[in-house]
Amino acid sequence: MFTKTQLTQYTTLYRSGKPFKTGAVIVDLESNDFQQNDTIPYFQIEEENNKINFIYKMSKEDVVYGLGETLGALNKRGKIYRFYNTDDPEHTPEKMSLYGSHPFMILDGKNTFGLFIDYPSEIIFDIGFTDKDILKITVPSKDFDLYIFDSDEKLSIIKEYFNLTGKPYIPPKWAFGFQQSRWSYFSEEEVRNVAKKFRETGIPCDVIYTDIDYMDSYKVFTINKDKFPNYEGMVKDLKEMGIKVIPIIDPGVKIEKDYSMYEEGKEKGFFCVDENGNDFVAAVWPGPTHFPNFLNSEVRRWWGKKYKLFTDMGIKGFWNDMNEPSIFYTPKGLDNLIELLKSLEKNKENAGIEVFLARETLLKIANNREDYKSFYHKLDDGSLINHDMVHNLYGFNMTKATADELKELCPNERYLLLSRSSYPGLHRMASIWMGDNKSWWEHMIVNIRMLQSLNMMGFFYTGADVGGFGADSSAELVIRWMELGAFTPFYRNHSALNTRPQEPWQFDEESLNIMRDIVRLRYAFLPYTYSEYMNSVKESVPFVKPLSFVFEGDRVKDIEDQYMYGESLMVAPVYEQNKKGRYLHLPEVKWLNWTASKYEERNMKVYEPGDYYIEADLNEIPLFIKENSLILLSEPMNYVGEKEITELTVIGLVSDHAVYNYYDDDGTTYNFTKGEFGNLIIDITKADNDFKIDVKSYDPVNILKIKKIHFEIYDSDGSVIKKDMIIG
């Protein structure tokens, strides 16, 4: 039933039937030779009606990694995951689906291999839930591609996956600054005040988001002129302050006569259609809407060009939301609900269980699979396909529309593009945030685990809503989350309508001061963060890695709440309420601990490998620099690029020899692909009671402005030698 083609030394494609071309894979498979092949390595195959099950008996020591945006542990064993993109704002532990589908996993243990299923509708991964030792993957179709990556090295499996689906997206450098959002800032004045407040309080900030209320009646690509009389002026004025504005974009087009998006879409046949060929109706924020048929290339071009409204204002960042697509209700669903309520009314004197059941029915009105089965996409070849069959590709194609046209609208300029929904391959043109989490301590560990799993999928540039989206947050929670967020590539504080505001100044003076220090620390790390990000994309190695991807042994496999941030730094955030520290494990090598609060202050200690309890007050985050590795800092600024970086501080524990490859470029264009970047190779060798420092530079187009490097090099006994070096 399968055909097979070997793609590389490690990667083999097993094809069943005639898979839908999703666009996840960038390798051209057309000219490949496919041979008949009825078995798949490692798996036993079970056919059941229209389903195929892949069954693997796991050994005790097997660990399963991957699956991207999923809940539960980092080791995916012990839970069922269902890939069918859904807008579920209750990220409770039993949930099987979220906004994105990422059916790529690595099994590491007795055998080690990777697996990716390119199939855009429901797939179930039962990883030792139903039967604790059985991995069972169910694909309810005969048409899909299954890739097996046969390597013992987790990192080389990931490399192969990136070869297949593309390298991670590279945002502009300012995307590594701090970002603030709120559902909603309701007016231009409010946005301007938030910007001012950042500058007044001295908290660095690069981006402010405008959520759905900037639109006129939630009509996509419109602006509410009453509330935002001069959106463009606001964008320009904030830009002067170093703050970029990013608007939210929703896919549903309001059904309203004379609204140009609606009229054009209807006239050109650009919307999804129902079984009778009429434009499909589903309600979202604006009330009844039509969904653009993003699976069609002409529709994508049309949609993408609409971002010009904003790019003309100088906007270079977008936030595509609701693109699962989220459905509040369909007319049919609403009718059913009304019928139900009428029947309740008839019996209203005695209603008991009926009311309880009605509650369940009410919840099912949103994001109902039956509704997804009731509309169609017209593809480029004119054929119609049921939405349910390609459901997981909707947000992917909306974002592809955005990314492709942004390249036309702003040639050679990088953009910050977030999508809520995703599918493999989206990572090469944009990224995702983790959706509607809650201001719960429990969601900090979710953030930490998902950060690692998403990085394996190529979503390097990711993070959660810092402080939590839904529910009210305490000052302590926001502070701890601001500390965690400072060490995630995407760093944005965002919160929901009707929740307690959580911008850094919304609490008390002390909390504000702590948060200022944290954000400044984040900016001090910018040279390291950016350099590591760019190097990790270049090398196809996840920017954030579990410890078990770097160190050997069983002990590290259990560690899910510490992670490598770049090659040199291990982060161990405090993520529990009222804690003044935490337990942690330091694998294999010596570590230079910096329990960091202020950029200016050092609080350093050398640790041998082992298990420890580390104290960390509310204003402190435990950081660890790996032995014989270096980190780089610079003076914090109010926003990325405010000042030229002329001085670097290099910190490390060098017991032997350390080399750091510092990378920088213009931060806004793609000129780096033409060799326009700078490198400093910083080489430090220990010599008795001293260090030999050698710095070489590669800087053909004069990117680097570094004049001076301060070295703070620690020895195994904790002593430090400080030296300055003039460069150039």
248 lies in the site for ligand MIG, by CB under 6 A: yes
- Which position has the token pair 């260090």? 691
Give whole-number Cα distances, 432 to 405, 409, 608, in Å: 19, 22, 37
183 lies in the site for ligand MIG, by CB under 6 A: yes
Name the catalytic one among 436, 483, 503, 517: 436
- Report in angstroms how near the CB of residue 35 gets to ligand MIG at its nearest: 45
- Report in angstroms how near the CB of residue 655 gets to ligand MIG at its nearest: 46
284 lies in the site for ligand MIG, by CB under 6 A: no
- Report in angstroms how near the CB of residue 481 gets to ligand MIG at its nearest: 16
Rounded CA separation 72/560 (Å): 11
Nearer Cβ to ligand MIG (319/663): 319
Active site residue 312: no
420 lies in the site for ligand MIG, by CB under 6 A: yes
- Which position has the token pair 């407040």? 197
Nearer Cβ to ligand MIG (387/420): 420
Active site residue 275: no
Nearer Cβ to ligand MIG (421/634): 421
The contact mask relative to ligand MIG for 188-227 (x = CB under 6 A, - = no) is: -----------------------xx---------------
Q: Which tokens is 581 given?
A: 């520290």
Which residue has its beta carbon closest to ligand MIG? 183
Active site residue 532: no
Nearer Cβ to ligand MIG (302/433): 433
490 lies in the site for ligand MIG, by CB under 6 A: no
- Report in angstroms how near the CB of residue 302 gets to ligand MIG at its nearest: 23
- Report in angstroms how near the CB of residue 127 gets to ligand MIG at its nearest: 27
- Report in angstroms how near the CB of residue 99 gets to ligand MIG at its nearest: 8
Please give, one letter per residue, the 3-state secondary structure of 320-362.
ECCCCCCCCECHHHHHHHHHHHHHHHHCCCCCCHHHHHHHHHH
Rounded CA separation 629/614 (Å): 21
615 torsion bin: left (phi>0), alpha (psi -120 to 50), beta (else):
beta
Nearer Cβ to ligand MIG (204/435): 435
Name the catalytic one among 122, 126, 250, 324: 324
Quick check: 426 and 396 in contact, CB under 8 A?
Answer: yes
- Can you list the positions of beta strands (E) in 341-426? 376-378, 384-386, 416-419
100 lies in the site for ligand MIG, by CB under 6 A: no
Which parts of 590-619 interact with ligand MIG (CB under 6 A)? Answer: none
- Which position has the token pair 């610079």? 634
Closest CA to 85 of 105, 106, 69: 69
Number of residues that bind ligand MIG (CB under 6 A): 10
Name the catalytic one among 108, 213, 279, 321: 321
User: What is the DSSP annotation of 273-310?
Assistant: B-TTSSBP-EEETTEEEE-B-TTSHHHHHHHHHTTHHH
Nearer Cβ to ligand MIG (119/433): 433
Nearer Cβ to ligand MIG (183/375): 183
Q: Which tokens is 66 given?
A: 């991957």
Beta bridge partners of 710: 649, 724
Nearer Cβ to ligand MIG (333/678): 333
Task: Walk across the sheet containing 287-290 and list its strands.
Answer: 253-254, 287-290, 282-284
CB burial string 313-326: b at 16+ within 10 A, e below? bebbbbbbbbbbbb
* Residue 188 burial class via C-beta count within 10 angstroms: exposed 0-12, middle 13-18, buried 19 and up: buried
Which parts of 319-338 interact with ligand MIG (CB under 6 A)? Answer: 321-322
- Report in angstroms how near the CB of residue 727 gets to ligand MIG at its nearest: 43
CA within 13 Å, CB half, 723: 13
Cα dihedral angle (457, 462, 463, 465), rounded to 10 degrees?
Answer: -120
544 lies in the site for ligand MIG, by CB under 6 A: no
Nearer Cβ to ligand MIG (2/99): 99
- Report in angstroms how near the CB of residue 639 gets to ligand MIG at its nearest: 23
Nearer Cβ to ligand MIG (265/395): 395
435 lies in the site for ligand MIG, by CB under 6 A: yes
Closest CA to 417 of 428, 425, 409, 408: 428
- Report in angstroms how near the CB of residue 426 gets to ligand MIG at its nearest: 16
Rounded CA separation 237/520 (Å): 23
- Report in angstroms how near the CB of residue 321 gets to ligand MIG at its nearest: 5
Q: What angle do CA 209, 214, 220 make, to 5 degrees?
A: 100
Please give, one letter per residue, the 3-state secondary structure of 442-474.
HHHHHHHHHHHHHHHCCCCCCCCEECCCECCCC
Closest CA to 306 of 165, 206, 405, 442: 405
Active-site annotation, residues: 321, 324, 436
**Interface residue list for ligand MIG (CB under 6 A):** 183, 211-212, 248, 321-322, 420, 435-436, 494
